[in-house]
Amino acid sequence: MSASMEILLALFTGIVAVSLFLQSLALLGIHRSIRNISGRIDKLSADIGRNADNVSSRASEVLAAIKAFTDRFHAMQDNLTGTSEIVQRRVVEIDAFLEEAAQAARLQVARIHQTVDNASRRVEETFDVLQNRVLAPVDELSAVITGIRVGLDVLRGRRKRPVNPSQQDEELFI
């Protein structure tokens, strides 16, 4: 080999050695960066894990509270449904009772009305019977007796002249 080749070979070997050294330093820097990044990622994942645990526990608490509220709400809804059914039945029963009471009251009012009508009709019939069968014959008998008395007075010549003209009108009316 020639001296120039040996110099070239030595130079080339020096360049390769320097580049290998620089490459080693670069790889060492990359390794440290990756280790730092890995440490950061480990810290972040630990933080994320803790936060996820916190969020998960809080979400579980919220879900438990929501479940308890939903259970209470369903119980209240069931109670409200039951209560509304009872109220509806009671209202229907009260309506039926009031309808029966109103019908009974109507019947009683009709009976009372009929009784009053019958009583008033019987009172009118009694007055008519009293008028026609008792008072009319008494009036006729009184008129006959008055006529006989007046006739006897005329025959005897003792006819009295009424002093009061209204009394005379009354006698003429009878």
Does the pLDDT at position 33 exceed 60? yes
Does the pLDDT at position 1 exceed 80? no
Helix (H, G, I), strand (E, B) or coil at 14: helix
Give the C-alpha separation, 70 to 62, whole Å: 12
Q: What is the mean pLDDT of residues 35-61?
A: 90
Q: Is 76 within the bounds of a domain? A: yes
The whole domain housing 104 covers 3-156
pLDDT single digits (tens) 70-79: 988 888 888 9
Q: What is the mean pLDDT of residues 33-59?
A: 91
Please count the structural domains in the chain: 1
Please tell me the predicted confidence (pLDDT) of residue 23: 93
Q: Is 38 within the bounds of a domain? A: yes
Mean pLDDT for the chain? 86
pLDDT-based confidence at residue 135 (cuts at 50, 70, 90): confident
Q: What is the mean pLDDT of residues 49-67?
A: 90
pLDDT-based confidence at residue 158 (cuts at 50, 70, 90): low
Does the pLDDT at position 171 exceed 80? no
Q: Would you say 174 and 143 are in contact if contact means Cβ atoms under 8 Å apart?
A: yes
Does the pLDDT at position 18 exceed 90? yes
Burial 107-133 (b: 16+ CB within 10 A, else e): eeeeeeeeeeeeeeeeeeeeeeeeeee
Does the pLDDT at position 68 exceed 80? yes
Does the pLDDT at position 24 exceed 80? yes
Q: Show the CA angle centred on residue 39, arms to residues 36 and 42, nearest 5°.
A: 150
Q: 0.75 cut: is pTM over it?
A: no
Please tell me the predicted confidence (pLDDT) of residue 156: 86
